[in-house]
Amino acid sequence: MKLVIRDLDLQIGFESLGDSLRISRQAAGNFDVEVEGTPINLLALAGPQPERLLKLGTVQVRGDVELLQRYRDLVLLLRPDLEEELAKFIGDGPAHRLAGLAKAALAFGRRGASTAVKNAAEYFAHETRDLVPRAEAEVFLSEVDRLREDVDRAAARVEALLARFEQPANDGDRV
């Protein structure tokens, strides 16, 4: 596998030797799969939604995608210290700064996405009235639940009354 890190002009080769893995700084030759992206996007591949990065095109994959999935699974199992591994290639200081930048950027992205979703929901609920505000929806749903319970109780009463009328008269009343 060949990993091309944009913005750092760095290429890293990963080669399986059976019982070990060879990692080289300058990836020369042909590889079954090539992955290219910025450092932050490549780190995000280890996150919960790597497919999203591929669909958006922020990370490009050329070659055997199934092999890439195997490498990803292996990395997730091993849980390497990415900052330490990156430090071997670019030094401790830059690796620490880059890892901090990646963490901050991911946190900023998550907060930004959460805020955008909340703002959009509020806009559609209160400004355009295309969505029902949460408080109104909760009141409506609780009223629906109460109505359903009332209907169930009424149905049980009707069944009990029908059962009483369908019972034969007492034998003692017959002459």
Integer Cα distance of 64 and 2 in angstroms: 11
Write down the CATH number for the domain with range 2-80. 3.30.1050.10
The full set of domain ranges for the chain reads: 2-80, 91-131, 134-165
Q: Model confidence at 70, in pLDDT bands (50, 70, 90)?
A: confident
128-158 b/e (C-beta count within 10 Å ≥ 16 → b):
eeeeeeeeeeeeeeeeeeeeeeeeeeeeeee
pLDDT digit string, tens, across residues 103-137: 888 889 889 888 998 999 889 888 888 888 888 99
pLDDT of the residue at 175: 47
pLDDT of the residue at 50: 76
Query: What percent of the chain stands above pLDDT 90?
Result: 18
Length of the chain: 175
pLDDT of the residue at 79: 67
Name the pairing type of β-strands 59-63 and 33-37.
antiparallel
pLDDT digit string, tens, across residues 41-63: 887 777 777 778 778 888 888 88
Q: What is the DSSP letter of 37?
A: E
Question: Which helix or strand (DSSP H or E) is residue 116 part of?
Answer: helix 92-122
Segment 68-76 mean pLDDT: 75
pLDDT above 80: residue 173: no
